[in-house]
């Protein structure tokens, strides 16, 4: 493969620079950068994990509202689903504030877990939901603990509030005694 001569490469670069510089001065600036530069790798990992884990808890709880046979499990699932959906909304708003694109989707393992639980019925569903919820809450708790150690005050505040909500949710699960 023949490479362009050095002078051709320089000409192309100058041409590209001229095109970029030709933008009118009064052109509006982009609304927000594509990715925040104020966040470190731990904060970015926090947003990724928290969004996936919160989405999993919300979806698990949605399944339980529809499929659980125990009324107490349905009621608890509805409350947890609402609380975590509210938390997801706050997380999305925080990500927007930090100019961070974010998706609220469970990871591959979470989707497999949802698919498996959705196929169950009766008391087996209720038990599997509670087990999956406990595992999801454990993962979310670890993520929120990491977020509470963030140097970013907004992330820290969100994580600390999330830890308190999670403690209350775990107490409700414990009271069920299942």
Its sign, for the CA torsion 122, 135, 85, 75, is: positive
* Angle subtended at Cα 40 by Cα 38 and Cα 44, rounded to the nearest 5 degrees: 100
For each of the domains in the chain, give its residue range(s) and CATH number, in order of start: 41-176 (1.20.1260.10)
For the entire predicted model, the pTM comes to: 0.77
pLDDT > 90? residue 136? yes
- Nearest CA to 67 out of 122, 113, 114 is that of 122
> Whole-angstrom Cα distance, residue 73 to residue 69?
8
- For the chain, what percentages of helix, strand and coil (3-state, to nearest 5) are there? 75, 0, 25
pLDDT at 37: 56
Contact 50, 147 (CB under 8 A): yes
- At residue 178 the predicted structure's pLDDT band, cuts being 50, 70 and 90, is low
Q: What is the pLDDT of residues 2-48, one digit of tens each?
A: 444 444 434 444 344 433 444 444 444 444 444 545 788 899 999 99
How many angstroms separate the CA atoms of 68 and 96, rounded? 35
């Amino acid at each position: 493969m023949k490479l362009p001569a050095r002078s051709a490469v320089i000409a192309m670069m100058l041409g590209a620079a001229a095109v970029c510089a030709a933008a009118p001065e009064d052109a509006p600036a982009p609304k927000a950068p594509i990715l925040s530069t104020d966040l470190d790798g731990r904060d970015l990992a926090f947003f990724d994990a928290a969004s996936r884990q919160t989405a999993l808890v919300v979806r698990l709880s949605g399944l339980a509202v529809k499929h659980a046979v125990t009324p107490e499990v349905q009621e608890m699932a509805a409350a947890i689903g609402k609380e975590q959906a509210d938390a997801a909304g706050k997380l999305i708003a925080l990500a927007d504030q930090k100019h961070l694109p974010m998706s609220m989707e469970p990871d591959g393992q979470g989707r497999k877990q949802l698919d498996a639980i959705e196929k169950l019925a009766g008391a087996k569903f209720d038990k599997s939901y509670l087990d999956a919820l406990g595992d999801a809450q454990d993962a979310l708790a670890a993520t929120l603990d990491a977020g509470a150690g963030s140097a970013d005050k907004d992330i820290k505040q969100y994580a600390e509030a999330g830890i308190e909500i999670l403690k209350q949710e775990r107490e409700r699960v414990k009271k069920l005694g299942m």
